Chain A
Amino acid sequence: MQFPENLRYTREHEWILVRDHEATVGITDFAQHELGDVVFVELPEVGVPVSEGKAFGVVESVKAVSDVYAPVDGTVTAVNDDVRAKPELVNQDPYGGGWLVKIRLADPGQVDLLMTAAAYSEYTRGQET
């Protein structure tokens, strides 16, 4: 299970990568593994505001429908069209080609409240089904 050091993580198993005032968001390696084959991804349009802790999209595997929650407040600046066409990218490359949206941060300080890779690794231990 991979949890890159340069990302921050949520309790709902999203990751966020911040560069300047823009963040890229996806679901973690742990989340994609728990979901199994991802077959459908529903994402917001560019310009939509998102709120920390509120669902902004949906990832569906063969067996389950799973909301994706915004790690921070902000506005959607980009959406990964590739992952809409090829949802399996979420399984194959969760931190790369499987990214979901980019968000312009309303408050960069919110990111510091999220889990580090070490904390998230600890958090996921024992949660596997």
Chain B
Amino acid sequence: MVTGSLKRTPLYEEHRRAGARMVPFAGWEMPLSYAGILEEHRAVRTGAGLFDVSHMGVVELRGRGAEETCQRLTTNDVRRLRDGRAQYTLLLNERGGILDDLIVYRLESTRFVLCLNAANTDTDLAWIRNHARAETEVEDRSADTALLALQGPRAAQGLRPHVAETLMALPPFGCLETRMAGVSAIVARTGYTGEDGFELFVRADGARHVWTVVLATSPVRPAGLGARDTLRLEAGLLLHGADMDADTCPYEAGLERFVRLDSGPFVGRDAAVAAAREGTARRLARLLLRGAGIPRRDYAVTAHGRRIGTVTSGGLAPVLGRGIALAMIERAHAAAGTRLAVEIRGRAVEAEVVDGPFHRLATA
């Protein structure tokens, strides 16, 4: 990795000053952690953490054709969105494989914002431009937009002093163009941690100001990409490029509830219809280890000694103190309650297929 070629967010200097450990990620030099991954993870589960996720792609679609472009490119039903509402959705190729997962924010009937994975932004943008319908203007806003994620059960407490009081009533997946600490911003109640929280799209030249004032608000603490990954895994949320990719269809990934076959034509719909009708041989499952050990990406998953799949993401669930994994396995073994094993350095460690977010199991 040539570090000289890595891109930096507008908050790079702030991260260095805070003593962050910086790592290359998807072509960017990003903060892995500040105080330690586990400490930041717990801060987000119990208080509030602020993440710089400005590496993510931000694309704006404008014009009378913008909604139709969204509708034709994504699997969810954009027409169900009102102004100020967002939805999780997928971008498929013609074979029905997942090019990316994203959130579409509807600001107005003629203005939509798409938030894309950093590693896919360039290819997504080319794909979107190629498939744009008439009267759609596609603008890459990634460079002039910083994205901050304020996440945790006390995130609202960290946001409140800096926004209009009406924003406190923003529902999950609501979004609003507003001002935040004097800076133009889109405030959205979305995130990637399994907690309440907000994503803040701010002008790049106002990012340092917003970052600084929010961090100065109790109980907000900075959190890095390390905790972002452990939080999303513990919440059972998928990572594109690990748990799904262009060779994975939504029915394998367990994302079929975001595919609206009744919403009219979209790229990949024929393949999706076939997958829905015929079923898939593989299925992404959530595994909770019953024995000691930490499952990692590419470890084998077995049933009665026979390999039935592969771990796509794994780690220790900090709130459970147990190993957890997402694994792509034969569908016949993917029902909740099924006992399987993960091979860890030649040892078969017992695991159980579970439903729902891991971090809620503790209190269930």
Chain A residues with CB under 8 Å of chain B are 36-37, 39-40, 42, 58, 60, 62-63, 65, 129
Contacts and interface: CB of A to CB of B under 8 A. Distances in A.
B316 A62 contact: yes
Nearest to A65: B296
Given A36-B33, A36-B36, A129-B23, A63 B226 contact: yes
Contact of A60 (B21, B226, B294): B294
Q: Per DSSP, are chain A's interface residues mostly helix, strand or loop, or mixed?
A: strand
B37 interface: yes
Contacts of A62: 37-38, 226, 230, 315-316
B37 A36 contact: yes
B293 interface: yes
B226 A58 contact: no
Given A62-B226, A62-B315, A37 B294 contact: no
A42 to B, nearest CB: 7
A129 B226 contact: no
A36 B226 contact: yes
Contacts, number: 34
5 contacts: A36-B37, A37-B36, A40-B294, A40-B316, A62-B38
B80 interface: no
Nearest to B323: A40
A127 to B, nearest CB: 14
Given A58-B345, A62-B226, A62-B316, A39 B294 contact: yes
Interface string B315-327: 1100000000000
Nearest to A37: B38
Most chain-B Cβ atoms within 10 A of its Cβ — which of A36, A62, A65? A62
Contacts of B36: 36-37
Nearest to A33: B21
Nearest to A58: B345
Contacts of A36: 21, 33, 36-37, 226
Nearest to A38: B38
Nearest to A128: B21
Given A58-B345, A60-B294, 13 more contacts: A36-B21, A40-B292, A40-B293, A40-B294, A42-B345, A60-B316, A62-B226, A62-B230, A63-B32, A63-B37, A65-B294, A65-B296, A129-B21
A39 B39 CA distance: 13
A65 B293 CA distance: 11
Nearest to B225: A63
Interface string B282-302: 000000000011101000000
A40 B38 CA distance: 13
